[in-house]
Chain A
Amino acid sequence: MNKKIKVIGAGGIGSILLSILSRYLNYLEDTYVLTIIDGDTYEIRNKERQIFHQIGNKAEVLAAEIKADFPNLEVRPRGKYVTPDNLLILVDEGDIILLCVDNHATRKAVSDRCRELNDVVLISGGNDLTDGNIQVFIRENGKDLTLPLDNDYHREIREPSDRRPDEIGCDEQVVSEPQLLFMNNTIAAMMLNAFYAYSQGKLQYNEAYTDIITGNTRALERK
């Protein structure tokens, strides 16, 4: 199994996911390198949904906290937003990517980068207020084993109406949709479940939806 895990986005989903993933990786026999990538900054207002103990760049703050808790785990912060240019360096052969971002433009950029690689695993999650989904894109030996994120079922990712954070000017007002901590937690858990199933060679789906109001979850194999 690949030993390079990169978490892109350390906000509502990513900060929860990292708290569990880092503990899990620390106690495995194999040695993993965990890279955290995010250009955003933790602010006091993020405390409502996000796990951190100091103000600062999200990747750097979480990496420092994880290193303090798990000194045997190699953690590398990258305090920048991903762009099509830096993805050439940040996402590489053999990576397992856990994509926890808040816009479809970045999802497309990362999926496009993965399509250029021979061997890569991309697990992406996103939520609205009370529902959400995860997608799993796997390439092995230069072939798609599952569909990329911007497949025929997800044209909102193929032609995103939003923009990456690096494309938004500092003076532009970004209106955030309300989010629910429980929903972030559910998507983080679903992403980790998919990661575990993949790591055991037993993953049987490439997309899963969940709705915390109805209590339903549906996993499926898109083709």
Chain B
Amino acid sequence: MIKVTYGANQHEVEGGKNIATIRTESADILNLPEDAQAMVNGEEVGEDFIPETEVEFIKKAGTKG
């Protein structure tokens, strides 16, 4: 299983899927915007990349205060 994180939230998807597929499957569950950059171990990865254990879609910092 692959741990998928966005902001405070996370869930798991089956392994062997690329970022584009994970993004689609996670969109509703994590309220994931289309432009959230995927990163693995601190490095940006593209839509064809297949993560082995986890991927983080980067959530932008809160704007207001």
Interface residues of A (CB under 8 A from B): 9, 11-14, 100-104, 107, 124-128, 131-133, 135, 149, 152-154, 156-157, 162, 176-177, 179, 184, 187, 209-211, 214, 216-218, 222-223
Inter-chain contact A104/B8, CB cutoff 8 Å: no
Q: Known contacts being A153-B39, A223-B42, is A162 close to B7, with CB within 8 Å?
A: no
Interface residues of B (CB under 8 A from A): 5, 7-10, 39, 42, 58-65
Which chain B residue shows the least CB distance to A216? Answer: B8
Inter-chain contact A12/B65, CB cutoff 8 Å: yes
CB distance from B47 to the nearest CB of A (A): 18
Main SS at interface, chain A: mixed
Contacts of B65 in A (CB 8 A): 9, 11-14, 100-102, 125-127, 184, 187
Other than the given A154-B58, A157-B61, 12 more pairs (CB < 8 A) read A9-B65, A14-B65, A102-B63, A103-B63, A125-B65, A126-B61, A153-B58, A154-B60, A156-B61, A176-B64, A209-B7, A218-B7
Q: Known contacts being A153-B39, A223-B42, is A218 close to B61, with CB within 8 Å?
A: no
Contact of A125 among B5, B58, B62 (CB under 8 A): B62
Contacts of A209 in B (CB 8 A): 7-8, 59
